[in-house]
Amino acid sequence: MAPHIRIDVTSERHQYPVLIGPGLSTRLPELLETHQLDGTPLVVSCAPVWRLHGARVRALVGRGRKPALMADGERAKQLRTVSTLYEACLRNGLDRAGLVVAFGGGVVGDAAGFAAATFLRGVRLVQVPTTLLSQVDSAIGGKVGVNLPGGKNLVGAFHPPAMVVCDPDVLTTLPRREFRAGLYEVVKYGVLGSRPLFDAIGAQLDAILACDAAVLTPLIADCCRIKAHVVTIDEREQGPRRALNFGHTVGHALESLTHYRRFRHGEAIGHGMLAAAHLSVQRGTMSEADASLMDDLIRKLGRLPLVTDLSAKAALKVIAHDKKVVRGRLHYVLAKGLGDTEIAKDVTPDELVDAMRAIGMRR
């Protein structure tokens, strides 16, 4: 077996490996056997991913069975999709010794993961993320779920995977916009947990955008290490894990206001980080110099979709229903320079409106 990077994540239920390395997706049968993940697998994917990369995992499907192909895109992340996945589980004869293999981006991972968490009260899950965003973020940590019309990720569960397999080779076919969307989440990890990672993004940007596996592999691993550390000490988001929501309060509101049509998730988070940096500077937790460096790096990744037609006050109404509101108080993540964050529980509506106005939203 060729060398790869392994990071172990400890959850309440078990410890699971995150494996990172070029070509790993083609070796899934071997990896499942090595990690004693036997049982009937149901592969869940979407048509674009299956068309491009299905051959990599076809050996898992077996004779007489087909992958469960769900719709693509954030609008597919709904309870109706999960219901179709339950039917696929039944058709493929999954029992409690079965295995759901989520082969796709964050939407596939979240919906398939929620189906795995709830079918027969829980079957094992293997995440094989195929986008940069899902490799560095959503596939790790066990948060699975779907959206409601009133907000994002309002229905879900904590269902840690049995294994995560990240293969940088599958990223070469990502549309440029999708790849860049994932890079905003990489920037997030630099801001909240590692100044060296933040600096490396800017220094290696050309190689990153060229999908150089020699550069991407350690970059993905750095993000996974940060998330693994946070998840290990706070799996259920009662404290330190809230730092992973840096940029997400405003970002999720933007997605909801535009019915998940205008923004890729990472693009919305890019705007959200800019708003969070503005608020952090206003509160004195972040210097203007560090905020400027973050702004410059985000701008280098490409042009973000416009927000000038969106209302900050309308976004406030969405934020009021955000899952980060606890006992009526919003837990908002502020940056403490580059490499650290803190949680504020006293951010006012006026401060939020000011931060959203700073990124170009109308009042």
- Tens-place pLDDT, residues 56-74: 998 888 766 789 999 988 8
What is the model's pLDDT at position 220? 97
Average pLDDT, integer, range 255-261: 92
Average pLDDT, integer, range 322-327: 62
Percent above pLDDT 90 for the chain? 82
Q: State the sign of the Cα–Cα–Cα–Cα dihedral 330, 335, 339, 342.
A: negative
For residue 68 the two structure tokens come to: 């469960």
The residues spanned by each domain of the chain are 5-173, 176-210+246-358
Out of 124, 225, 265, 331, the active site residue is 265
Q: Is 241 a catalytic residue?
A: yes
DSSP string, 17-85: EEEE-TTGGGGHHHHHHHTT--S-EEEEEEHHHHHHHHHHHGGGT-TT---EEEPPSGGG-SHHHHHHH
Q: Is 248 a catalytic residue?
A: yes
Out of 27, 159, 252, 278, the active site residue is 252
Q: Is 255 a catalytic residue?
A: no
Out of 80, 121, 261, 303, the active site residue is 121
Q: Is 229 a catalytic residue?
A: no
Q: Is 252 a catalytic residue?
A: yes
What is the model's pLDDT at position 248? 94
Is pLDDT of 327 > 60? no
Q: Is 143 a catalytic residue?
A: yes
Out of 56, 180, 185, 271, the active site residue is 185
Least confident interval from 17-26, 47-56, 229-238? 229-238
Out of 56, 242, 248, 331, the active site residue is 248
Out of 143, 188, 242, 331, the active site residue is 143
Percent above pLDDT 70 for the chain? 97
What is the model's pLDDT at position 9? 94
Helices (H) and strands (E) in the chain, counts: 14, 13
Higher local confidence (pLDDT), 160 or 151:
160
Q: Cα separation of 236 and 238, whole Å?
A: 6
Q: Is 265 a catalytic residue?
A: yes
Q: Is 92 a catalytic residue?
A: no
What is the model's pLDDT at position 2? 57
Out of 56, 152, 227, 264, the active site residue is 227
- Tens-place pLDDT, residues 84-124: 999 999 999 999 999 999 999 999 999 999 999 999 999 99
CATH 3.40.50.11540 fits 5-173, yes or no: no
What is the model's pLDDT at position 234? 76
What CATH number belongs to 176-210+246-358?
A: 1.20.1090.10
What is the model's pLDDT at position 151? 79
Domains 5-173 and 176-210+246-358 are alike in CATH topology? no
Q: Is 262 a catalytic residue?
A: no
